[in-house]
Amino acid sequence: MSAHPRLADGQPRLEVTYVRTGLSRLLDDPTVLAVLGFGPDAPAHGDPRYLRLGLHPLGDAPFEVWRTGGRVQHGREGALAWAADGALMFGAIELDEALVDGSGDIESAAFEAYRRLEASIRARGYPHLLRTWNYLADITGGDGDEERYRRFCVGRARGISTVEGALRTGKLPAATAIGRTDGAHRLQVYWLAARLPGTPLENPRQVSAYRYPRQYGPQPPSFARAMLPPAGSDMPLLLSGTAAVVGHETRHPGSVRDQFDETLANFDSLLSAARAVSPGLPADFGRGTHLKVYVRDAEELETVAGLLDTRFGDRVPRLLLHAAICRRDLRMEIDGVHG
């Protein structure tokens, strides 16, 4: 079924693609680990491997499909959906903020989501969290330390640290935290976990997020800038949400064009760091790269689409999404995979 070389038993394999095939046909494939649909116009489906995300795409979005090397089993535990192939696990949890212990706040929802995530990856035997995505409403709502993103960071860190050692800085997953644009106060967290550990990477141009100074909130964000897959796997590099942050400061708050260039300079630097460990990775983005490009102001989506066209032509598959970024002065952010 697959043209890829056979890997030793239990070695992870993951391929990410953007496709316009019908959803049922995608889910008929037993090697499909996850399918992501974007925005309220994406279809609904009960398969635990399918997640519809609360972010509006520019135009008619494809599905994002994750395929693995083995047969996938899947199921649900309450609000949590999972799928796994013996080497990798996809999981997703959606929590209505109002329903979490009656408090209705994002900190409690994040705590609860991460507590359940940790319990689930451990119980199923995939204890190494490689990558997380976090989509929450009104991400920059509230002021100072009451800002929702800051409360989210507090809840996330509390949830992860219920398990001994998991928050150690050398073990944090690559991540994205983005504001959903459909108005629903429902926290969506989805992830990729593995039986074997990956290698987290930092970016020499950026202060590690887990060392951000106090001015950004009481709890520095718990993520690494990228994750190299477990040794011996056939998987891309997992790129965290990356924006125009140099050191720890936002650059070019007034210009989405300059933020775009700064973001790509950050990726250049991150890819150099990744290639120092894994020299086989391509130095430039190309066909094996898949990017999700998040833009805060709907009016700037077309501008960013044009910047991507100019920079990459049709060489780099990408998906544009309308989504709020977790700092008010960040106009855009990009995450993705590269291999």
In the complex, the smallest distance separating the C-beta of residue 108 from ligand 3EB, rounded to whole angstroms, is 17
326 is a contact residue toward ligand 3EB (CB under 6 A): yes
Judged by CB under 6 A, which of 68, 240, 259, 289 binds ligand 3EB? 240
* 8 A C-beta contact, residue 74 and residue 25: no
Beta bridge partners of 247: 206
Of 243 and 307, which has the nearer Cβ to ligand 3EB? 243
Quick one: 324 exposed, middle or buried, by C-beta within 10 A (0-12, 13-18, 19+)?
A: buried
245 is a contact residue toward ligand 3EB (CB under 6 A): yes
In the complex, the smallest distance separating the C-beta of residue 234 from ligand 3EB, rounded to whole angstroms, is 25
3-state secondary structure of 12: coil
Of 175 and 323, which has the nearer Cβ to ligand 3EB? 175
Write out the two tokens for 264. 């790509």
217 Cβ contact list (under 8 Å, min separation 6): 145, 147, 149, 150, 153, 154
Q: Which residue is nearest to ligand 3EB (CB)?
A: 241
E strand map for the chain: 14-19, 32-38, 50-53, 56-57, 63-68, 73-77, 80-84, 88-96, 128-137, 174-180, 186-194, 199-201, 226-228, 237-242, 245-246, 249-250, 289-295, 318-322, 332-338
- Is 112 among the catalytic positions? no
Of 11 and 250, which has the nearer Cβ to ligand 3EB? 250
Pairing mode of beta strands 88-96, 80-84: antiparallel
Judged by CB under 6 A, which of 93, 110, 137, 243 binds ligand 3EB? 243
Residues 206-235 that bind ligand 3EB (CB under 6 A): 209, 221, 223
> How far is the C-alpha of 202 from the C-alpha of 211, rounded, in Å?
11
Judged by CB under 6 A, which of 129, 175, 201, 308 binds ligand 3EB? 175
Q: What is the DSSP letter of 27?
A: H
In the complex, the smallest distance separating the C-beta of residue 2 from ligand 3EB, rounded to whole angstroms, is 32
Binding mask 113-152 toward ligand 3EB (x if CB under 6 A, else -) reads ---------------------x------------------
Of 82 and 191, which has the nearer Cβ to ligand 3EB? 191
Q: What residues make contact with ligand 3EB under the rule CB under 6 A?
A: 134, 175-177, 209, 221, 223, 240-241, 243, 245, 326
User: Which residues participate in catalysis according to the annotation?
Assistant: 333
